[in-house]
Structure 1
């Protein structure tokens, strides 16, 4: 296990953790939370060995293998699959041993290396690497593309896949969801739930933390506190603790005031001096309870739009896409006919690569429709937050300079003090308004972009992944501001808490179309898993069609090898289906018991019974019927899965 005993950690002269103690047990999945700058990344640096404790004792089992996402941008022309495959450090080491043995002609070493490679899973390593890449949103055609040919966000996904490829006992993930779409996020959650090692993750996505963690470590004002439970449970426990602490503090203050009043009143009286002195000693011995210091939450609001055209815009039989490298048009969406009304809250859903950003960019006027018509309402004012919006900020300029330039571009006469006051409402106060943007954190840059959008008083907000660099407090402030915004919101986000809080309807972008999505986000997650499966099947079919003509005849295996492979396939199928069959048996047994209970209750209700007993039987009958309905639906889903596996 990992243990910290009275550990102190400093960054420069600042003490971030002061005499903290905590234990992390093997196999636990831990969420590390706290405000920006509290010391989360510093604690990670202690865990990965780049920083040492300034005091106290830190222990981690020396035999543990550790994996984490490299923070530097990879610069290599290595194919994506090979790059991720190299993340398996054990395989790389064994391959080097095999090469060395082959060079020296050491037959025993060669045989041992081949056996070790087999044990390390060398036979299916490329398939495992490609499964990670595809799960994180890449297309089959991109598996062999050079790493350098991808944009920065996609290269960081490859770094994540490389970390997941590495065999590990401890996995450290620092904001792993920042560059992911919702479909890749759902896949990552499922992968992490199956991870058998110890996981410690820093994230500002509350639903992600709820899904993958069962323990929460909270850093606050130099302390480190362990809570059993996921993030939502932590919030509830923390609120209860703070309420109790504040109540205890107030009771103690009342007691102190009472003792002090007695001391002040009687310390000069000879007859009461001894009693007064005993109360002085009681005050000195009393362990003081600290008050709850409520830190000011970040809040902001969108200004009232100058006007609200209705409809905001209309799309008529439009086709969206972009010119390809050879000059031809690459069409992604066709036949789009939608109307956007004033006050709508639209969440735009769709699997990776289906055209969400293309749709938003076209509405935002950064791309033109390939055909059809986009009709804008009179006075439409768009506030557009793009995924790459942070990249267009000027790193050498400061927030005040950005606001002055924005006012100049819009032809607005704004006083410098007014701009300073406005930036102050977004937590850019004092000298921060003159700090170079290039030296700011991602969250601070995102707040600056939000400030610039708010200042323009838009009536239509187009937000494409606005939360990538925002902490939990700022995400909650954004959700509150969007709910109070009087205009229209169109939102693309992998933050399900934000989508749930803001959107009251969803559009689904997929298979070249844009249509309504009638379910909720839980239904959408199921849709994503089905769509991912469909795309894998499609890619497998296409791959088979391409490779079939190239081979005149399939390679022949001898009968013994074929029997071995058949037995291996049967064993793999049995391992996959055994848990499902066990679960189906349990459901069958429970359904049989519920059926008997239901029949008995129905027979009993046919008799003359007292009113209270009739009501009790009716409640139990309804509970049986509800449970039967749930179990039957689960039985059908699992049976379908079992049939597909068997095929």
Structure 2
């Protein structure tokens, strides 16, 4: 179990924990909540020995491995799969042991290293890593792309996959959903529900916490309070506790006032002096209760739009995409829809399907690749970008942003008026001149919200607005959007926000935008059905390959496609009539061309099976523990040789398979 006893922790002059204690049992899934800046990440640093407490004890079982998402952006050209594999510390240790043994030509150590590799699951580690990547939204062709070819958000997904790859008894996840879309979030939710270790997760996603956690740890006023239940249960219990605490404080204040009144009245009267003195002592001995001081709520509202054109937007056969080196890449095409005044539209779809591309096109951040978008007269767009820095300047402060915006929207605005306005969004004092690049993610998000409110838009385009917002600010955003009189188009992985704000959904999938007839629960069921269909298609494709003699059992085991994210095999286009007349001759010609290649592939299959059988026999021999030292040395050397032969044979099989595919494609 994890035990914190009377912990005091300071960060600079700030007391993060003050005589805090808590006990967490093995296997518990814990949600760590508290306002931004309360010290949740500092508590994680304490649990991982990056910080030392000023007082008290932290007790975590020494043998426990700890998995944690690194917050740095990796800069390496290592393939994504290999980067994720490095998260498995047991596997890496076994690999290093084998490398050291081979360098020392120590057969006994080689045999021990191979046993460690078996224990670490080395032979299915790669497909496990790729399944994690595919579940988090990576495409099949991306799983071996260099890490530094991905953007920042995708690199954080790589760090998350790397943490999940670790065989950890304790998993610490700090805002794991920030860079995920709804599809990947649902997958992660299911993965964490199956995780059997101890989990502590920091998140501002209410539904995610409710689905995963059974215990809530509240960090408030430098104290830790444990609640048995998920986040919704915690809110109810905390409200009851605060009500009881406030009632107790009120009663005590009445008692204190009564005692003080008696003391003030009779302290100078000789006959009552003794009673008055006893009440003074009672007052001194009384343990004073503190009043309930709840954190100040954050509230804001969008200003009433100047006008509400209807329709606001009309799409006529619109194509959306982006341009690279003069070449157009169309992601979504054929959009024929209207956006009306007052609509609340949630935009759903898997990562990479084009949700943000559609929103950016509407926001005039990039041009439409085809068709026509007709804007209503007086349309004013407010755009919240997924990456806040797309609309912010890192070297300028919040006040400079507002001054520049005011010149465009309301030139008569005075600086003091702008300062007062920023104060409503918690930018006070010198913060108004602090460089945006040094602000936290939540502060940047609040600045973007402030700029949106000042613009008085009638169409709000919100692309993942909650990524860096705490629960209080998310609640304030939900209320503000519901009270907004204009139109909202929302892309978000926050299901609570989607449920509270949107009354209809668009689905971006397979290159088109279509209405989704259902709610978020229906969408999650649809995602599950899609996953099942993909898995079935992958299984059918594997059976077809095996039937055609194109894959041996060992190769299939070495490089299976991750079922969780497999895509259906493409269906060949029907041949033209004149081609069908010659199909028999064409097939014979192809068979003649590929026969030598397929013959060599069959020979490699047989060799792979033979090597696999030999490896299994050697491993069984070593596992019995009856081998002599000389036999262990020889077995270790032979296992190394088998490993090298398998890699070489599998590589050759893949090369031959690619040649066969190329011949078929050219035919």
| TM norm structure 1 | 0.84
- Distance verdict in 2 for CA 1:102–1:345, change over 3 Å: same
Q: Measure the CA separation in 1 of the matches of 2:394 and 2:269.
A: 71
- Distance verdict in 2 for CA 1:30–1:551, change over 3 Å: farther
- Distance verdict in 2 for CA 1:540–1:368, change over 3 Å: farther
Matches within 5 A, 1:356-367: 356-367=355-366
Q: Measure the CA separation in 1 of the matches of 2:30 and 2:62.
A: 20
Q: Measure the CA separation in 2 of the matches of 1:442 and 1:532.
A: 33
Other-structure match for 2:248:
248
Asked if the contact 2:69–2:173 (Cα under 8 Å) also holds between the matched residues in 1, the reply is yes
Other-structure match for 1:286:
286
Q: Measure the CA separation in 2 of the matches of 1:551 and 1:198.
A: 50
Q: Is the counterpart of residue 77 in structure 1 residue 77 in structure 2?
A: yes
C-alpha deviation, 1:330, in angstroms: 2.3
- Distance verdict in 2 for CA 1:538–1:351, change over 3 Å: farther
- Distance verdict in 2 for CA 1:499–1:551, change over 3 Å: farther
Report Cα offsets for 1:382-429 as digits up to 9, x if no partner. Answer: 001111223542222111011111223447232101111111111112
Other-structure match for 2:518:
519
Q: Measure the CA separation in 2 of the matches of 1:466 and 1:541.
A: 40
Other-structure match for 1:198:
198
| Residues paired across the two proteins, number | 564
Q: Measure the CA separation in 2 of the matches of 1:324 and 1:541.
A: 36
Other-structure match for 1:615:
none
Asked if the contact 2:319–2:330 (Cα under 8 Å) also holds between the matched residues in 1, the reply is yes
Asked if the contact 2:320–2:368 (Cα under 8 Å) also holds between the matched residues in 1, the reply is yes
Asked if the contact 2:385–2:391 (Cα under 8 Å) also holds between the matched residues in 1, the reply is no
Q: Measure the CA separation in 2 of the matches of 1:485 and 1:157.
A: 34
Other-structure match for 1:579:
none
Other-structure match for 1:395:
394
Bigger mean CA offset, 264-273 vs 130-139: 264-273
Matches within 5 A, 1:495-534: 495-534=494-533
Unaligned runs of 5+ in 2: 552-593, 617-667
Other-structure match for 1:450:
449
Report Cα offsets for 1:554-612 as digits up to 9, x if no partner. Answer: 413669978999xxxxxxxxxxxxxxxxxxxxxxxxxxxxxxxxxxxxxxxxxxxxxxx
Unaligned runs of 5+ in 1: 566-647
Other-structure match for 1:262:
262
Q: Is the counterpart of residue 297 in structure 1 residue 293 in structure 2?
A: no
Other-structure match for 2:156:
156
Q: Measure the CA separation in 2 of the matches of 1:538 and 1:409.
A: 54
C-alpha deviation, 1:89, in angstroms: 1.3
Q: Is the counterpart of residue 100 in structure 1 residue 104 in structure 2?
A: no
Other-structure match for 1:134:
134
3-state SS in 1 of match to 2:421: helix
Bigger mean CA offset, 526-535 vs 419-428: 526-535
3-state SS in 2 of match to 1:9: strand
Report Cα offsets for 1:155-211 as digits up to 9, x if no partner. Answer: 010011001111111111111111010101111111111111111111111111111
| TM norm structure 2 | 0.81
3-state SS in 1 of match to 2:262: helix
Other-structure match for 1:321:
321
Q: Measure the CA separation in 1 of the matches of 2:29 and 2:241.
A: 23
Q: Measure the CA separation in 2 of the matches of 1:410 and 1:188.
A: 43
Report Cα offsets for 1:300-332 as digits up to 9, x if no partner. Answer: 11011010000111112222222345x443222
Other-structure match for 2:274:
274
- Distance verdict in 2 for CA 1:533–1:412, change over 3 Å: farther
Asked if the contact 2:388–2:444 (Cα under 8 Å) also holds between the matched residues in 1, the reply is no
Other-structure match for 1:465:
464
Other-structure match for 2:434:
435
Report Cα offsets for 1:42-100 as digits up to 9, x if no partner. Answer: 11110010101101122111111111011110000011111111111111111111122
- Distance verdict in 2 for CA 1:518–1:35, change over 3 Å: same
Asked if the contact 1:390–1:446 (Cα under 8 Å) also holds between the matched residues in 2, the reply is no
Bigger mean CA offset, 145-154 vs 264-273: 264-273
3-state SS in 1 of match to 2:456: coil
Q: Measure the CA separation in 2 of the matches of 1:56 and 1:510.
A: 54
C-alpha deviation, 1:542, in angstroms: 7.7
Comparing both chains, which one has the higher relative contact order based on Cα–Cα distances under 8 Å and sequence gaps of 6 or more? Answer: 2
Other-structure match for 2:424:
425
C-alpha deviation, 1:40, in angstroms: 0.7
Q: Measure the CA separation in 2 of the matches of 1:270 and 1:332.
A: 93
Matches within 5 A, 1:486-565: 486-535=485-534, 553-554=601-602, 555-556=605-606
Q: Measure the CA separation in 1 of the matches of 2:539 and 2:79.
A: 20
- Let me know the Cα RMSD of the aligned residues: 2.2
Asked if the contact 1:390–1:449 (Cα under 8 Å) also holds between the matched residues in 2, the reply is no
C-alpha deviation, 1:333, in angstroms: 1.8
Q: Measure the CA separation in 1 of the matches of 2:483 and 2:306.
A: 15
- Distance verdict in 2 for CA 1:330–1:174, change over 3 Å: same
C-alpha deviation, 1:532, in angstroms: 3.6
C-alpha deviation, 1:295, in angstroms: 2.3
Q: Measure the CA separation in 2 of the matches of 1:431 and 1:264.
A: 47
